[in-house]
């Protein structure tokens, strides 16, 4: 018996890196990993790897910065499995989708806006699309992925660090708002993680 037997969990950014590791872990614990990624080929590859090892998975393309795309992700999951038990808001611009680097004065406005659109707005839009299905059942869990850089800074990465600090504030508010619906909201702040071979 796995810890997640019968649970359906969406992982945004699940096609690469630490998101891929989350998906594999969910499947190992008996859950259905919904691998959601803007890189559809990568999402398909992770879902296939899970199925090939006897696990349960579903691949879906998502652009977390686009609400209709997030809604399609939720609807596809509900159509296939009838419920959503968990959401891991992991999609971010950093490694597999590289962030432009520079001192705080050198970062371009375009790079700043792109990071905020995915790393901050993306959390909000994914949650808006997925959480109503949890509220209907009065149960669920949302895990938002921050970074230890939110607490110790990171040279040449002010936009990324700021976005990951925003995740903490977002989670605190969401936890208070969703508590009455019996939905847990937590934040993870991983350090540097070797999660994918290049």
| Radius of gyration in angstroms for the set of CA atoms belonging to the chain, rounded to a whole number | 16
User: CA–CA separation, 150 vs 164, rounded Å?
Assistant: 5
Which position among 22, 94, 160, 170 bears the catalytic label? 160
Determine whether 160 is an active site residue: yes
DSSP string, 104-170: TTTS-HHHHHHHHIIIIIHHHHHHHHHHHHHHHHT-EEEEEE--THHHH--TT-HHHHHHHHHHHHH
Active site (catalytic) residues: 160
């Amino acid at each position: 018996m796995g810890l997640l037997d019968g649970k359906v969990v969406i992982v945004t950014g699940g096609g690469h890196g630490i998101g891929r590791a989350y998906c594999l872990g969910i499947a190992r614990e008996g859950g259905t990993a919904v691998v959601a990624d803007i890189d559809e080929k990568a999402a398909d590859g992770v879902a296939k790897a899970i199925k090939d090892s006897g696990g349960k998975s579903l691949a879906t393309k998502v652009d977390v910065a686009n609400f209709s795309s997030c809604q399609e992700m939720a609807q596809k999951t509900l159509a296939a499995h009838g419920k959503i038990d968990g959401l891991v808001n992991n999609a971010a611009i950093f490694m597999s989708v590289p962030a432009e680097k520079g001192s705080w004065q050198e970062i371009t406005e375009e790079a700043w806006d792109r990071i905020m659109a995915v790393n901050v707005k993306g959390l909000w839009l994914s949650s808006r699309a997925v959480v109503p299905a949890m509220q209907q059942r009065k149960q669920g869990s949302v895990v938002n992925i921050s970074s230890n850089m939110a607490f110790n800074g990171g040279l040449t990465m002010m936009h990324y660090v700021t976005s990951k600090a925003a995740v903490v504030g977002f989670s605190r508010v969401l936890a208070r708002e969703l508590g009455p619906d019996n939905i847990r909201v937590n934040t993870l702040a991983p350090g540097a993680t070797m999660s994918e071979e290049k």
